[in-house]
Amino acid sequence: MHFGAILALAVGLAMDATAVAASRGLALSRVTARHALLVALYFGGSQALMPLIGWMIGASVGPLVEAWDHWIAFVLLSVIGGKMIWEARGAKDEEARDGEAAFAPKVMIVLAVATSIDALAVGVTLPMLGAPLGLSLATIGVTTAVMSVIGLFAGRRFGAVLGPRLDIAGGLILIVLGVKILIEHTS
């Protein structure tokens, strides 16, 4: 798996966190460096940790499913992408709440884990695709951190309009990546 594919995967995975970060921006009258740092650490850190957990699972079962790995990657990425698109269709604008309560550790942990479950599933496929672990985790984590901070500021600036669109774009990227993997391995 080359860096371009890893980066595309990272962008797709980051869309959930970016949309949630945008919703955090809605709750603020002003975005501070503290808010940006919290969003980057929680979302970027969680998105980097979950594929590591998935990677460990995938590395242990990878040799058993090597002949089917491209189909597994295709199905997982397509299901995750489809789920993101489906959920974006029904997304409701979150009402703005107290800005600081939106950044409470308990709230941020729940949001970080919820937005990185798809990264856990993708992590299972990474060893099957021969993706380098360190580069994959760093790319996914840094991309998510950067995009989440951008989402935070965009949420503050542009409102809830971006949220569902980001999830749809992320879902489409994951589906396209799954199709690309399938085509590469079956051709």
| Contact predicate 47/140, CB 8 Å | yes
98's tokens: 């107290």
Q: Is the pLDDT confidence value at 73 over 90?
A: no
CB atoms within 10 A of CB 177: 23
The number of helix segments (H) and strand segments (E) in the chain equals 7, 0
Instruction: Compare 89 and 39 and report the one with higher pLDDT.
Output: 39
DSSP 127-170: HHHT--HHHHHHHHHHHHHHHHHHHHHHHHHHGGGHHHHHHHHH
Token pair, residue 31, equals 């975005």
Q: What is the pLDDT of residue 99?
A: 61
**Phi, psi (rounded to 5 degrees) for 97:** -120, -175
Q: Give the DSSP per-residue string, 53-86.
A: HHHHHHHHHGGGGGGGHHHHHHHHHHHHHHHHHH
- In this prediction, residue 163 carries a pLDDT of 59
Burial class (CB in 10 A: 0-12, 13-18, 19+), 91: middle
CB 15 within 8 A of CB 169: yes
Residues 95-115: tens digit of each pLDDT: 444 567 778 898 898 888 888
Higher pLDDT among residues 180 and 98, named by residue: 180
Nearby residues of 179 by Cβ (< 8 Å), 6 or more positions away:
74, 78
**pLDDT tens, position by position, 111-142:** 888 888 888 888 888 887 888 999 999 999 99
